[in-house]
């Protein structure tokens, strides 16, 4: 039966397909409602948006994004099926603007899949960021030692889980000592406005690398469902930057200095670090201002469809990791 609901061919192509994330995780678009055209329809409260040119829709979508008019984008929704390590899920769930239904280990047996970072992502604590890691990996010896300890701990946790299940101990008790590296799953439904807020924070380089990986795949899915919104989000949120009052004053002075030429031709000398400090910027703010003015590289979140798996393939992998009770 042919549907009357609005669809997007690029989104239909990946609907129900699973994209791998990390070593055992995945993200799949289960369903979606709406597209860029529905944002325009909601904004204009009109049924005739289909007769408008793409350029007109693009202009309105960008205007709404630029000026933070968010309610029209709340009319578009995404439903994802995701699997991630529990420590990533704990970060993810802080975004309280979605409907979530997580796999319950009280009812279901957990696939015993554990996240193991690659050596390239195994690093010491950052000396400048209390929440992050250094950019360079540790020594091979330290990484090998961590792998050995992780494998021992996880083998013991899995053995204990299986033994408790074999003794018919309640599943809600058998699960309690599984580590945070254990993978969980959930269905996650969110509107487009709140998805953009989630992605803005989670594809940022300051976010933990593991959740960035999920954000990148979901951004690729967004690109297929609402490409005009994706473009505006990249331009205004990912590549754009907010300016403080002191930064705006500094830029205003720079613009005045360059109005009639370069440097001090009009009598206003180029700004120095001392000048920026006098304008009220701290050392960190000065560095952030310089970073904002440096043109960033445009990210590419396009999906590799050759890596998309079917729901059946993903289920076989998950069910293959369900432990057999120890008798």
**Measured CA distances, 277 to 247, 258, 281, 284, 296 (Å):** 11, 21, 5, 11, 25
Mean pLDDT, residues 67-91: 96
Looking at the fold, whether 47 and 68 belong to one and the same domain comes out as yes
The sign of the CA dihedral 216, 222, 227, 231 is: negative
Containing domain of residue 267, as a range? Answer: 245-293
Residue 43 has pLDDT above 60, yes or no: yes
> Tell me, what CATH number does 107's domain have?
3.30.1360.170
pLDDT of the residue at 261: 41
Residue 298 has pLDDT above 80, yes or no: yes
- 125 pairs with which residues across the strands? 133
Q: How far apart, in whole angstroms, are the C-alpha atoms of residue 27 and residue 187?
A: 10
Looking at the fold, whether 69 and 194 belong to one and the same domain comes out as yes
Looking at the fold, whether 259 and 158 belong to one and the same domain comes out as no
Count of domains for the chain:
2
Looking at the fold, whether 40 and 153 belong to one and the same domain comes out as yes
Considering the chain, what percentage of its residues have pLDDT values greater than 70? 92
Q: How far apart, in whole angstroms, are the C-alpha atoms of residue 226 and residue 39?
A: 9
pLDDT of the residue at 170: 96
* Residue 4 located in a structural domain: no
* Residue 151 located in a structural domain: yes
Tens-place pLDDT, residues 12-23: 999 999 999 999
Residue 50 has pLDDT above 60, yes or no: no
Looking at the fold, whether 230 and 263 belong to one and the same domain comes out as no
Looking at the fold, whether 183 and 66 belong to one and the same domain comes out as yes
Tens-place pLDDT, residues 169-196: 999 999 999 999 999 999 999 999 999 9
More confident call, 210 vs 252: 210
Looking at the fold, whether 102 and 226 belong to one and the same domain comes out as yes
pLDDT of the residue at 266: 52
Residue 26, phi then psi, degrees to nearest 5:
-160, 165
pLDDT of the residue at 256: 59
pLDDT of the residue at 258: 46
Looking at the fold, whether 218 and 266 belong to one and the same domain comes out as no
* Residue 230 located in a structural domain: yes
pLDDT of the residue at 259: 44
pLDDT of the residue at 48: 58
Q: Which residues contact 246 (CB under 8 A, 6 or more apart)?
A: 276, 279, 280, 281, 285
pLDDT of the residue at 152: 97
Helix (H) or strand (E) holding 33: strand 25-33
Mean pLDDT, residues 200-208: 94
Long-range own/partner contacts, residues 230-236 (CB < 8 A, 24 or more apart): 231/58, 231/62, 232/61, 232/62, 232/65, 232/66, 233/65, 233/196, 233/199, 233/200, 234/298, 234/299, 235/62, 236/62, 236/65, 236/66
pLDDT of the residue at 286: 82
Mean pLDDT, the chain, rounded, equals: 89
Looking at the fold, whether 232 and 253 belong to one and the same domain comes out as no
pLDDT of the residue at 54: 79
Angle at 111 between CA 110 and CA 116, to 5 degrees: 120
Mean pLDDT, residues 316-326: 86
Mean pLDDT, residues 308-322: 92
* Residue 1 located in a structural domain: no
pLDDT of the residue at 18: 97
pLDDT of the residue at 1: 74
Whether the Cβ atoms of residue 108 and residue 203 lie closer than 8 Å to each other: no
What is the reported pTM? 0.86
pLDDT of the residue at 247: 85
* Residue 3 located in a structural domain: no
Annotated catalytic, 202?
A: yes
Tens-place pLDDT, residues 262-293: 444 455 566 788 888 888 878 877 887 877 77
Candidate from 50-64, 73-87, 116-130, 140-154 with smallest mean pLDDT: 50-64
Split at pLDDT 50, 70, 90, the class of 52 is low
* Residue 278 located in a structural domain: yes
**Measured CA distances, 179 to 65, 78, 132, 159, 264 (Å):** 41, 30, 21, 13, 62
Q: How far apart, in whole angstroms, are the C-alpha atoms of residue 168 and residue 152?
A: 25
pLDDT of the residue at 196: 97
Find the radius of gyration of the CA atoms of the chain.
25
Looking at the fold, whether 114 and 215 belong to one and the same domain comes out as yes
The catalytically annotated residue of 202, 248, 284, 298 is 202
Mean pLDDT, residues 145-151: 97
* Residue 157 located in a structural domain: yes
Looking at the fold, whether 151 and 273 belong to one and the same domain comes out as no
pLDDT of the residue at 130: 80
């Amino acid at each position: 039966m042919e549907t009357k609901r609005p669809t997007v061919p690029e989104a239909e192509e990946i609907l129900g397909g699973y994209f791998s994330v990390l070593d055992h995780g995945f993200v799949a678009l289960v369903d979606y409602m709406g597209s860029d055209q529905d944002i325009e329809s909601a904004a204009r409260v009109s049924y005739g948006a289909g007769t408008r040119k793409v350029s007109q829709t693009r202009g309105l979508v960008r205007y709404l994004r630029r000026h933070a008019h968010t309610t029209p984008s709340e009319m578009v929704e995404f439903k994802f099926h995701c699997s991630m390590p529990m420590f990533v899920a704990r970060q993810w769930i802080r975004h309280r603007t979605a409907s979530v239904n997580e796999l319950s280990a009280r009812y279901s047996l957990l696939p015993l899949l554990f996240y193991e970072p690659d050596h390239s992502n195994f690093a010491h604590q950052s000396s400048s960021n209390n929440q992050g890691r250094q950019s360079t990996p540790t020594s091979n010896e330290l990484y090998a030692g961590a792998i050995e300890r992780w494998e021992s701990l996880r083998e013991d946790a899995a053995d204990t889980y299986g033994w408790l299940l074999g003794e018919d101990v309640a599943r809600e008790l058998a699960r309690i000592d599984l580590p945070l590296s254990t993978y969980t799953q959930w269905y996650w439904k969110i509107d487009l406005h709140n998805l953009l807020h989630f992605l803005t924070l989670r594809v940022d380089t300051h976010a933990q690398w593991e959740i960035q990986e999920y954000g990148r795949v979901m951004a690729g899915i967004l690109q297929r469902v609402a490409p005009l919104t994706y473009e505006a989000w990249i331009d205004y949120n990912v590549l754009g930057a907010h300016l403080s009052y002191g930064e705006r004053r500094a830029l205003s002075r720079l613009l005045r200095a360059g109005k009639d030429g370069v440097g001090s031709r009009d009598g206003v000398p180029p700004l120095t670090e001392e000048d920026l400090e006098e304008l009220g910027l701290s050392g960190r703010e000065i560095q952030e201002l310089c970073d904002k003015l440096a043109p960033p590289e445009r990210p590419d979140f396009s999906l590799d469809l050759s890596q998309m798996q079917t729901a059946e393939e993903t289920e076989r992998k998950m069910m293959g990791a369900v432990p057999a009770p120890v008798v």
